[in-house]
Amino acid sequence: MRKLLDMGIEQLKKMIREMANGSVEALESARRSIEGDFDSAEEISSRLHIIRSDVLELATELLVRYSPVASDLRFIQSAIDVSYDLYRISRYAMEIERTARIVKGPVELSRKAFPLTEEAVRLSVDAFRELDETLVGRLLELDRIIDDYYLRSLEALNENPEKAADALIMRHLERISDHAKEIGAKVVYIKEGRRM
């Protein structure tokens, strides 16, 4: 029975890796969209939605069939949450593409925040894959910086309403960063059993 649970957990890990790769790909596509190169974040998000459904189905089966405990239970619970975070990252990337296509205007802060947001997503994925708590501190730092960019973009709207595109894109980047931070928090939960 233990072997079947382990096989199921490995399958969950594989699906989460696929979702992680997709969310990074969607974010890269969104970054290109602010330069006028519109790509495929919507297709990626649709694919991740399907994988997320598969994660939920497998996780439910593992919970019901094997009654896992301790770190196995925490991992399965966290895989459900992380699948949601990764899917939401892809949805925000899709919204950035849509915003860049429709709303024109300068996006200086977004250009600065994109590499940091991409780093946060990659770090969160690495932290979850390796269950490496040491990366969580950097995630918190990146989240603070991106939050600051977002607030600055809102303040810039007071001076120049043409900066609406930047504020809209920054809002999505701020939410992506928050989801990345949540993925990092799951690492602490899995390893230590405590929530951040």
Residue 78 has pLDDT above 90, yes or no: yes
What pLDDT score does 168 carry? Answer: 96
> How many structural domains are present in the chain?
1
Which domain covers residue 55, as residue numbers? 2-192
Domain CATH number, residue 85: 1.20.58.220
Confidence label for 1 from pLDDT (cuts 50, 70 and 90): low
- Per residue in 101-152, pLDDT (tens digit) is 999 888 999 999 999 999 999 999 999 999 999 999 999 999 999 999 999 9
**Whole-structure pTM value:** 0.95
DSSP the chain: -HHHHHHHHHHHHHHHHHHHHHHHHHHHHHHHHTTT----HHHHHHHHHHHHHHHHHHHHHHHHHH---HHHHHHHHHHHHHHHHHHHHHHHHHHHHHHHHH--S--HHHHHHHHHHHHHHHHHHHHHHHT-GGGHHHHHHHHHHHHHHHHHHHHHHHH-GGGHHHHHHHHHHHHHHHHHHHHHHHHHHHHHS---
Residue 96 has pLDDT above 70, yes or no: yes
